[in-house]
Amino acid sequence: MAEQTENKPDTVTITLDGKRVTAKPGEMLIAAAERAGVYIPRFCYHPRMRPVGMCRMCLVEVKGPRGFGLAPACFIPTSEGQEVVTTSPTVKKAQDGVLEFLLVNHPLDCPVCDKGGECPLQDQTVAFGPGETRFVEEKRHWAKPIALSDLVYLDRERCIQCDRCTRFADEVAGDPLIEFVGRGDSIEVNTFPDQPFSSYFSGNTVQLCPVGALLARPYRFKARPWDLEQVESTCTMCSVGCRIAVQSSSNELTRYLGVDSEPVNHGWLCDQGRFSYQYVNSDERISSPLVRKGDELVECSWGEALAATAKALESAKAVHGPGAVAVLGGARLANEDAYAWAKLAKGVLGTDNVDAQLGDGLPAELVLGLPRATIDEACAASAIVLLAPDIKEELPVLYLRLREAAVDKGVPLVELTPQSTGLSRYAKASLSYRPGEAALLAKALVDGATGDVAGSKAAAVNGARALLGDNPVVVLGRPSVAESAASITAAAAALAGLPGVRFLPALRRANVMGALDMGLAPGILPGRVSLDAGRDWFSSVWTTLPTGAGLDAAGILSAAAEGRIQALVLLGADPAADFPDRQLARQALAGAGFVVAVDAFLTESSRQADVVLPAAAFAERHGTTTNIEGRITSLGQKIVPNGVSWPDWMIAVELAARLGTELGFETVEQVWDEVERVAPSHAGITCALLADRRFRDGVTAPLGAAPPAITGTGSAPAPRPALLAFSGEAPAVSLPPLDAYSLRLVSRRTLYGNGTLVQHAPGLAALAKSPCARANPSDLDRLGMGKGGQVRVRSNRANFLIDAEPDPGVPRGSLSLAFNSVDLEGSDAGALIDADAVVTDVRVETP
């Protein structure tokens, strides 16, 4: 939240402790001083939040018309000729006084406090405090701690009322569920009775707290900060790519802390990311290779498992051709793993039946071929158009960034959605469309509407159109998995006609963009080139290439269900839970000849595999990952892999060796060197460049016209193939008519769901909500269930009983079911959805 204004000079000069210092005009003194190397102590000030001047710790002497006087440095903007003194006896006396006062009620329980050792109050008392107190009175006492939510505990005795947590909840997260309650010496931070601090971002307050008042329940009493080792890494719970510090003790992960990355997360994390380290520590992890013996999976050696796998792959290819081998998944792997597997599948086995997305994403040609925007560019665009799932649920920190852009910078949000989202309340225009009609609405937004379209009023569409400006950014994803990718592709093709438009993909799996960049999609080769365009280039580096474009996830599963896939590799993929059409996924797993699962956990899918290969999890290996912007950042290793787990790239190398081909990698760096050499979009992004501190926030691929000065091991000499560009051709979508008694299904994910990783993190698994159907109150009224209650939902696939709730955010004629709610046997949206249909229509009946 910079305090700059346009028509002032670029810099001002102030005198700080007798030295002349250049500062930005309007910047707060405390920030200007910090940049000049003068640390002014503080508790309430935080560079990412608005100043409040609550704690008075940053008092300095500023010269005014009547001479020097004390003023809070966090609240005084710099101005030309300002004279500031930070070390005078007056300042020292003020600091002594403030600290003595802050400690009036603060308990001296540092030895049992989580914050002890990394506590700003402790540190600044030592550095700036008086050393002794004159207070002898009894300190105030509260019950301690109390639970503000399932994840955050509050020790009110330790609170120094700095307003950081409450400001964060209000200003940054937009969930003002904690407030100062009471007044004077009885003031406390608290929630409204019985309304917990159930914000997706609550964990940030623990990191922000300058004392040990706010405690993370999963970390409480688990470690002392000085015992922790740490490495910088990138969170891989979703594809935003927040920078984190991974901390461990005795080879066990203890916590993640948000690292302030200017282009990405501004230091914030969502709770799903922050507490996801628990799954790495889970006892349920697979620790050794498993091979099927009859009905059971039994532990075996790597040699046995790899030999069985290689044999199955080889015979499938030899007997039925390369097309009988398929690889699903890979969107949770590191870039190097994805490249190694792409090389194994396409360059060794010669199959193009490879898809990192599980039918809940968008075609690679579209995602890779559209002009890309970064998050910063989106936040500075003339307008942000959302044709995406609920960003708050799937990419929470992107939600924070977009919310900040809308609220603080006034960037208009225009939303095209089948159901209201977490961003709806900040949107200038929230246009709802009936499932399947996204393209109609998108076209109307581009060309102007003459009549009502897809359920939105013409005036609203035209009003939204007037907001777009000349460089809008479209946040593009699948608003509902019950609406086909073709429908959204057609809408994206229409939106691509907006002048100056760029796109920010909103696909959720951690490294889905990296997997697509590395070629884990049908018809694509590493480096964002099509199979046809890259054929010549890659035939010089790979031994073989697929003959033609292969099948996507839906195609692979259909083929498997029909018995045409003899060997199916699942790379951390659980199609039985993640593919929108559950029936097809189950048939496919049953129909595939041989299933190999590379995974960290036994999932519904990997339980049916013939061989399960244990993969190293997050923080157990290093490498790189790619976020939605195409930003490549590092993954750090902090602990040794569980059991005999291997990183995925190593598994690919070993398998290739057993198939008689050397992939040519012995280290993860060698994989990246080859990526840099052969992937056209990644030219110049060398290991050395990624390791450079100047690029600690990562670099976006492809590098611009002037790549950073550091050069790598040298590039390949031949002309590189051109990068993919979206053709603009959209598939024709024909929508079945809706009968008057049916509702059209909308199905989205929620943050805490049935996902394997969330379910294996005890702190998060408890937060998953039970399934619930939502419909417009008028639709429920029609059934005589205006207040909600149990209903039977029926599609031509399945039917089940489920609780229904009225929700005005769901337009009339639609029914919303969370896609990933914890499964009551069979009662989930996946059972209703048919992958071949554009939309899914359901009937809702009283039971």
Partner 1 sequence: MARLNADNEKRARDLIALYPESRSSLIPMLHVAQEQDGWLMPDAIAHVAELLDLTAAEVYGTASFYDMFFTHPVGRHLVSVCTNIACLLNGGFELLEHAEKSLGVSGGGTTHDGEFTLEEVECIALCGEAPCLAVNWRFFGSVTPERFDTLMADLRSGALADEVPPHGTLCRVRRSVGLPAAATPESVTGPEVPSAPGGGRPQSPGTT
Determine if the peptide bond prior to 808 is cis (ω within 30°). no
Q: Is 195 near partner 1 (CB under 8 A)? A: yes
Q: According to CB under 8 A, which one of 58, 177, 235, 464 is a site residue for partner 1?
A: 177
One residue of 9, 37, 65, 193 binding partner 1 per CB under 8 A: 193
Least distance CB 198 / partner 1 (angstroms): 11
Q: Give the residue with the Cβ less far from partner 1, 151 or 367.
A: 151
CA 625 to chain centre: 12
Q: Are 625 and 510 in contact (CB under 8 A)?
A: yes
Please identify, using beta-carbon distances, which residue of 195 and 667 lies nearer to partner 1: 195
Q: Which helix (H) or strand (E) covers residue 564, if one does?
A: none
**DSSP assignments along 698-741, one per residue:** -EESSP-SS--S---S---SSPPPPPP----------PPPPPTT
Measured CA distances, 593 to 320, 562, 563, 831, 844 (Å):
11, 10, 7, 24, 38
Among 179, 284, 408, 662, binds partner 1 (CB under 8 A): 179
Residue-wise DSSP of 23-47: E-TT-BHHHHHHHTT-PPP-SS--T
Position 14: which residue type?
I
The 429-432 sheet, strands edge to edge? 429-432, 413-417, 384-387, 473-476, 502-505
Task: Supply φ then ψ for residue 442, to 5 degrees.
Answer: -60, -45
Nearer to partner 1 (CB atom), residue 67 or residue 193: 193
Nearer to partner 1, 188 or 299 (CB): 188
From 91, 119, 165, 178, residue interacting with partner 1 (rule: CB under 8 A): 178
Encoded one letter per residue, x for contact with partner 1 by CB under 8 A and - for no contact, window 127-166 reads ----------------------------------------
Torsion of CA 680, 684, 689, 695, to 10 degrees: -70
Q: Which stretch binds partner 1 (CB under 8 A): 190-198, 249-257, 262-270, 361-369?
A: 190-198
Cβ distance to partner 1 smaller for residue 182 or 371:
182
Contact call for residue 175 and partner 1 (CB under 8 A)? yes
Among 64, 69, 97, 182, binds partner 1 (CB under 8 A): 182
Q: Given the complex with partner 1, which of 183 and 693 has the nearer CB atom?
A: 183
**Integer angstrom CA distances of residue 473 from 372, 469, 735:** 9, 10, 28
Of the pair 177, 444, the CB lying nearest partner 1 is at: 177
Strands 413-417 and 429-432 come out as parallel
Q: Quick one: which segment of 177-185, 415-423, 614-622, 785-793 binds partner 1 (CB under 8 A)?
A: 177-185
How many residues sit close enough to partner 1 to count as binding (CB under 8 A)? 15
The least CB distance from residue 159 to partner 1, in Å, is 14
| Closest CB 178 distance from partner 1, rounded Å | 6
Closest CB 149 distance from partner 1, rounded Å: 12
Residue from the set 6, 132, 194, 825 that interacts with partner 1 by CB under 8 A: 194
| 423 near partner 1 (CB under 8 A) | no
- CA 266 vs CA 209, 508, 535: distances in Å: 16, 19, 41
| Closest distance to partner 1 from the beta carbon of 775 (Å) | 22
Which range of residues in 172-180, 220-228, 502-510, 563-571 is near partner 1 by CB under 8 A? 172-180
| Piece of 154-162, 176-184, 229-237, 514-522 that binds partner 1 (CB under 8 A) | 176-184
Task: Return the bridge partners of 64, or none.
Answer: 67
Rounded Cα distance, 381 and 372, in Å: 13
- Compute the 3-state secondary structure of the chain and give helix, strand, coil in percent, each to the nearest 5: 30, 20, 50
Instruction: Compute, in degrees rounded to 10, the torsion defined by CA atoms 28, 32, 38, 39.
Output: 40
Question: Which span (95-103, 171-179, 763-771, 784-792) binds partner 1, by CB under 8 A?
Answer: 171-179
Q: How far is the CB of 142 from partner 1 (least distance, A)?
A: 15
- Kindly indicate which of the ranges 193-201, 303-311, 519-527, 705-713 contains the residues binding partner 1, using the contact rule CB under 8 A: 193-201
Q: How far is the CB of 175 from partner 1 (least distance, A)?
A: 8
The yes or no reply on residue 183 touching partner 1 (CB under 8 A) is yes
The 10 Å Cβ neighbour count of residue 667 is: 12
Q: Find the shortest distance in angstroms from Cβ 183 to partner 1.
A: 5
Stretch that binds partner 1, among 191-199, 341-349, 526-534, 786-794 (CB under 8 A): 191-199
**Judged by CB under 8 A, does residue 192 bind partner 1?**
yes
Pick the piece of the chain touching partner 1 (CB under 8 A) from 185-193, 249-257, 327-335, 758-766: 185-193
Q: Identify which of residues 18 and 193 has a Cβ nearer to partner 1 in the complex.
A: 193
Binder to partner 1 among 26, 117, 176, 806 (CB under 8 A)? 176
CA distances to 382, 439, 476, 499, 502 from 496, rounded to whole Å, are 15, 12, 11, 8, 8
Residue with tokens 């006084």: 97
Question: Cα(642)–Cα(283) distance, rounded to whole angstroms?
Answer: 10
Tokens of 669: 């760096």
Which residue stretch of 182-190, 476-484, 755-763, 814-822 sits at the interface with partner 1 (rule: CB under 8 A)?
Answer: 182-190
Does the footprint of partner 1 cover residue 181 (CB under 8 A)? yes
Tally: H helices and E strands in the chain: 28, 36
Counting every residue written for the chain, the total comes to 847
180 binds partner 1, rule: CB under 8 A: yes
Chain residues binding partner 1 by CB under 8 A are 175-183, 190-195
